[in-house]
Amino acid sequence: MRLRVLVADDQDTLRGAIIGLLSSEPDIVVVGEAASGEEALAMVREQGVDVVVMDLRMPDMDGIEATRRLTESGSRARVVGMSAEVYPSVHERFVAAGGTALLSKSMLFEELLPAIRGAHLGAGGADDEGIARMS
């Protein structure tokens, strides 16, 4: 069975690059893309998503709030967060919201595939050492 992934980022270029990377993987299918947290929440409900790759800084609703709402709704979708600013305080808020792995955008393409697969299996991210990963 292929992993059903949603990509949420307000930057069209980055979202397209992530989708391109994921689309080349035989065990992953991209079921949608969103430009805001609100769109991501609606698509998770509609698409039966396993993993959401979510930017933490988006308009309307940021990725941390969207992650919190997904968690509170009882969604089984795991969230792999990404941010240009991966500070301990951001990491802590993301984990508290229910996030699985947090990746720095500077290392995104090296760590994204292991983080998605680890999140789906219930692991803590790219290195399987804890609830979330900070690069």
- Rounded Cα distance between 132 and 134, Å, is 7
In the chain, where are the structural domains located?
A: 3-120
Give pLDDT, residue 49.
Answer: 96
Please tell me the predicted confidence (pLDDT) of residue 1: 83
- Residue pair 40/15 in contact (Cβ under 8 Å)? The answer is no
Per-residue pLDDT of 74-128, as tens digits, reads 999 999 999 998 889 999 999 999 999 999 998 888 899 999 999 988 755 434 3
Q: How far is CA 76 from CA 16, 21, 106, 113, in A?
A: 25, 24, 28, 19
Tell me the per-residue pLDDT of 15-43, one tens digit each, with 9 for 90 and over.
Answer: 999 999 999 999 999 999 999 999 999 99
Q: In angstroms, rounded to a whole number, what is the distance separating the alpha carbons of residues 119 and 117?
A: 5
Tell me the CATH number for domain 3-120: 3.40.50.2300
Q: What is the mean pLDDT of residues 6-23?
A: 96
Identify whether the C-beta of residue 51 lies closer than 8 Å to the C-beta of residue 60: no
Average pLDDT, the chain: 89
Which pTM value belongs to this model? 0.86
